[in-house]
Amino acid sequence: MNNIGINIEIRPNLYLRSLNENDATETYYSWLNDTDVNKYLSTKSATVEELKEYINDNNKSTNKILLGIFMGHTHIGNTKLEVDLDNKRAIFSIMIGSKESWNLGIGTEVTKKVCDYAFDKIGLKNIELGVLDSNLGAIKAYKKAGFVIVDSGLSPAFDNSKDVVMRIERYPKVWAIIQARMGSTRLPGKAMLPIGKRTAIGHVFNRVKKAKTVDHVVLATGKDSINDPLEVEANKYDIPTFRGDDDWLLNRYVDCVCDCHAETIIRITGDCVLVDPDIIDKVVTLFNESGADYASNVHPPTYPDGFDVEVFSKEALFDVSRRANIDSDREHATPYLWKKKGFFKHASLENDVDLNEMRVVLDYKRDLEILRQLEGEVDFETAGVNEIVEAYRRLDIEQYAVRNEGYALSLQNDTDSYKKSLSNSEALIERAKKVIPCSAQTYSKSYRHFAYPVFLREGSGSHVWDVDGNEYIDFNCGLGAVSLGYGYKFFNTSCRSATISGISFSQPHPIEVELAEKIIDIIPSAEMVKFMKNGSDVTTAAVRLARAHTGRDVVAKCGYHGFHDWSIGVTSNNAGIPKCVSDLTIEFEYNNIDSLKKILENHKVAAVIMEPLQHNGPIDGFLRDVRGLCDTHEVVLIFDEVLSGFRTALGGAQAYYGVTPDLSTFGKAVSNGFPLSILVGKSEIMKQIDDGVFISTTFGGDIVSLSAALYTINEMEATNGYDKMISLGNMWKDNVNSLIKEYEIEGVEVVGHPSHCGLVFDSVDTLSFYQQFMAEQGILTLGINNFCLSHTERDIMNFIRALDEALYAIKELQELEFYRDYRIRPVFKR
Ligand code: PMP
């Protein structure tokens, strides 16, 4: 390394160059004696002669790079690197002596340029500097240049001051990750078996280190202590070890790459004892030059088995980790990369002659014998692939096994696990069909309406299991009723203790008052409260109260409000409902205020009942306008919050959007799955129940559901639960939106508030296919999802992985206009 003749332009008129004796001027000398400049310097003063000596010493040194900073021809300061080439490190310092050049950002510019020079031209990996903690301006400038504070301690040179150590690093780009473990089933402990003067893995370490394109080598092994000897062996070769996932290689790779900040990864398997450094260099060069995401010499395989090299980018690996869904793709690190040619750009190194059938890998005892035989023939320290192939032929070794047996085995397991057995569910459906109309109590749970009918047996958190033992992440959550999660912490215990003392008493229980008071505290429209069981109960009760209150009959509705005559009578499912009843209900359109206005102007309307949150929510003050119209026409406004309540916010959509109705109805999420619905509203209207409006149920006051609701509300409040669910919903929406954009799929739309959002398809066939495909991949979704507090980001990412596959298939199927193997069923329409 030479300090002479360096000239680095930063921008026109600002540059760095090596100094010579002539630069030891009075000006330079004056800086060192200026108290403003030398405040932070350890060398306070020098003579001009000493400065000359200083410059000469640096120019002679082999590890110091002293450069002057020049503005035009004016020398304004110096910068210096003290380099430790062995460790690829340097210590950096800078002084800007000319005070006119302060506060112009020159320090940052120079620092950045010197660092680039050190990283790119000298090949350093890390630069450190020391700065006094009181020198805030310098610290700021260094931070701007990319340095971070890594340490601080009392300064040896300055009393009462602290030295701050700052560092900037440029991580080595290319890492060879050697994967190995001790627990091979075919040849246990194979990596540590001796072959000549090294262990099998020792040969791998030794040979990989010889590749010129490799910046760093790391051993990636499992956490299990059985692998300790591998770490000891790697130490002998000065190779660091990463201990990661024992079974899921993909996870191990991702964690390892995060740990070592690798950007380009070379995957080497420990059983490739004779991996060839020249082949590594060729594949890395191919990778760099082709701009591929994945380059290898194994797809197609033309080199002997045992010379496998795969190179890929960090981004590609992370992408795989987000997408890969099936076991075999996660058990091995790269199948997804090489299978999905459409997603990743591939490059392939092919041998002149096809030697695919030749086997020089260590999997079986027989392989060990072959390798030991070869070791007698060629020098494993130097032999490349050609020499080894020649020796192989000379020894006349018989070829005997197939490539990638481990992967083939995983694929077999995939097919077994992928094709879920549903025999118990199917048998139950047949029995149910005979005794239960639709085979279920809710249409959306019925085999006729959900395209992947299973009987569920148990749940835990956000996961559920069917009667055949298949596991799913549940994004339906009991049609929105499950808000905390299945078997949530103390929820079951708290409800169980309620059951022990009794469930339904002959007279009211104190908890009824307690819960009613709580509801009044949190729901804006609640002055009085009545508990019932179903959403349909409370919406019907609300309509009756409104009719009694106004003395009118007509109801304007917008949304789904349950199965009772007044509500469902206006849909196509109106069999059995007298026309005179359905004639009294008129529907209006969400976000279309004129459609409501017309009804109110032309009819004597008792109640406007609506779901306040539909699709993507109200626009242009729609809810406020509805409120205004109801006031003008003296109509009772009912918000049906059976779905939006206890899901959007603690006070429901009415609190979220700041519009208070006269009556509102709640259900579903309030009690984490226990049957409870709630009617609340103005005392003036609610009090009619005391006085002629008959609303009464046997089970409205069952104390288990009431205590479940109290527990759920308190827990949501304590954990900021709604915010958490909404942030999961946002994560879901963001990811799904970008996937849909990526696939350019038409007829699919992301809709809904993040608390209750999902996909809407313009074709029933596609929706049905989607439901089935997702369920096959362990995701239960009807289309629109309900999140619960137990859902995790991991659950969301699993959803995204499955969706990725589903959209891929939908795209293919759409192009073929053909949903081949899927039984398409009509799904729930209300
Ligand atoms: N209102 C709304 C907004 C609903 O979503 C539902 C149920 N899907 C109901 C009322 C009826 O509730 P239930 O099924 O509990 O009678």
For the four alpha carbons of 389, 393, 397 and 402, in that order, the dihedral sign comes to positive
The enclosing H or E element of 683 equals helix 683-686
How many whole angstroms separate alpha carbon 455 and alpha carbon 424?
8
Confidence of residue 417 (pLDDT cuts 50, 70, 90): low
pLDDT digits (tens, 9 = 90+) for 31-86: 988 888 887 776 666 788 889 999 999 999 999 999 999 999 999 999 999 999 87
Structure-model confidence comparison of residues 164 and 829, the more confident one: 164
pLDDT digits (tens, 9 = 90+) for 241-299: 999 999 999 999 999 998 888 889 999 999 999 999 999 999 999 998 888 899 999 98
Long-range contact set of residues 388-393: C-beta below 8 Å, sequence gap at least 24? 388/274, 388/304, 388/360, 389/304, 389/355, 389/358, 392/304, 392/358, 392/360
Q: What are the C-alpha distances in Å from 45 to residues 42, 50, 568?
A: 9, 10, 93
Q: What are the C-alpha distances in Å from 330 to residues 167, 248, 327?
A: 36, 6, 5
| Pairing of the two strands 89-96 and 74-84 | antiparallel
560 Cβ closer than 6 Å to some ligand 1 atom: yes
Q: What are the C-alpha distances in Å from 178 to residues 238, 309, 312, 374?
A: 14, 11, 14, 22
Q: State the closest ligand 1 atom to the C-alpha of 611, by its place in the atom list counted from 1.
A: 3
Q: What are the C-alpha distances in Å from 561 to residues 8, 558, 615, 643?
A: 75, 9, 16, 10
304 Cβ closer than 6 Å to some ligand 1 atom: no
* Residues 264, 287 contacting (CB under 8 angstroms): yes
SS3 691: coil
Q: Is 240 a residue whose pLDDT tops 50? A: yes
Question: Using CA positions, which residue lies closest to atom 12 of ligand 1?
Answer: 535
Question: Using CA positions, which residue lies closest to atom 10 of ligand 1?
Answer: 561
pLDDT digits (tens, 9 = 90+) for 634-680: 999 999 999 999 999 999 999 999 999 999 999 999 999 999 999 99
Structure-model confidence comparison of residues 408 and 329, the more confident one: 329
Please state the φ and ψ torsions of residue 512, each to the nearest 5 degrees: -60, -40
* Residue of 536, 428, 537, 454 lying closest to 436 (CA atoms): 428
* Residue of 85, 28, 74 lying closest to 55 (CA atoms): 28
Percent of residues, the chain, with pLDDT higher than 70:
94
Quote the ligand 1 centre to 547 CA distance (angstroms). 20
The token pair at 203 is 């040969």
Burial profile 178-212: b = 16 or more Cβ within 10 angstroms, e = fewer: bbbbbebeebeebbbbebbebbbbbbbbebbeebe
DSSP collapsed to 3 states, 283-298: HHHHHHHHCCCEEECE
pLDDT digits (tens, 9 = 90+) for 687-705: 999 999 999 999 999 999 9
Distance, C-alpha 225 to centroid of its chain: 30
Confidence of residue 415 (pLDDT cuts 50, 70, 90): low
559 Cβ closer than 6 Å to some ligand 1 atom: yes
- Start-to-end CA distance of the chain, whole Å, equals 79
pLDDT at 697: 96
pLDDT at 319: 84
Of the spans 409-423, 488-502, 712-726, which averages the highest pLDDT? 712-726
Lowest mean pLDDT among 91-100, 157-166, 269-278, 580-589: 157-166
pLDDT at 159: 61
pLDDT at 155: 65
pLDDT at 232: 97
Sequence-ordered alpha helix ranges (H) in 551-618: 565-568, 579-582, 593-602
Quote the ligand 1 centre to 590 CA distance (angstroms). 17
Mean pLDDT of 129-158: 84
* Residue of 378, 348, 335 lying closest to 360 (CA atoms): 378
pTM confidence score: 0.57
Our mutation pick for probing the ligand 1 site, out of 563, 565, 643, 753, counting the most ligand atoms within 8 A of Cβ, is 643
Distance, C-alpha 106 to centroid of its chain: 40
Mean pLDDT of 508-528: 97
* Residue of 693, 701, 704 lying closest to 540 (CA atoms): 693
CA angle 525, 526, 531 (to 5 degrees): 130
Our mutation pick for probing the ligand 1 site, out of 539, 555, 678, counting the most ligand atoms within 8 A of Cβ, is 539
Percent of residues, the chain, with pLDDT higher than 90:
68
pLDDT at 133: 86
Mean pLDDT of 4-9: 90
* Residues 312, 286 contacting (CB under 8 angstroms): no
Structure-model confidence comparison of residues 814 and 174, the more confident one: 174
How many whole angstroms separate alpha carbon 759 and alpha carbon 746?
12
For the four alpha carbons of 673, 674, 675 and 680, in that order, the dihedral sign comes to negative
pLDDT at 744: 85
How many whole angstroms separate alpha carbon 830 and alpha carbon 528?
31
562 Cβ closer than 6 Å to some ligand 1 atom: yes
pLDDT at 356: 87
Quote the ligand 1 centre to 708 CA distance (angstroms). 19
Angle (deg, nearest 10), helices 510-522 and 703-719: 40
Question: Over the chain, what is the mean pLDDT?
Answer: 90
Confidence of residue 401 (pLDDT cuts 50, 70, 90): low
pLDDT at 828: 44
pLDDT digits (tens, 9 = 90+) for 552-579: 999 999 999 999 999 999 999 999 999 9
Our mutation pick for probing the ligand 1 site, out of 442, 444, 560, counting the most ligand atoms within 8 A of Cβ, is 560
pLDDT digits (tens, 9 = 90+) for 753-788: 998 999 999 888 888 889 988 998 899 999 999 999
Q: Is 823 a residue whose pLDDT tops 90? A: no
Confidence of residue 121 (pLDDT cuts 50, 70, 90): confident
Q: Within 13 Å, how many C-alpha atoms sit on residue 825's CB side?
A: 15
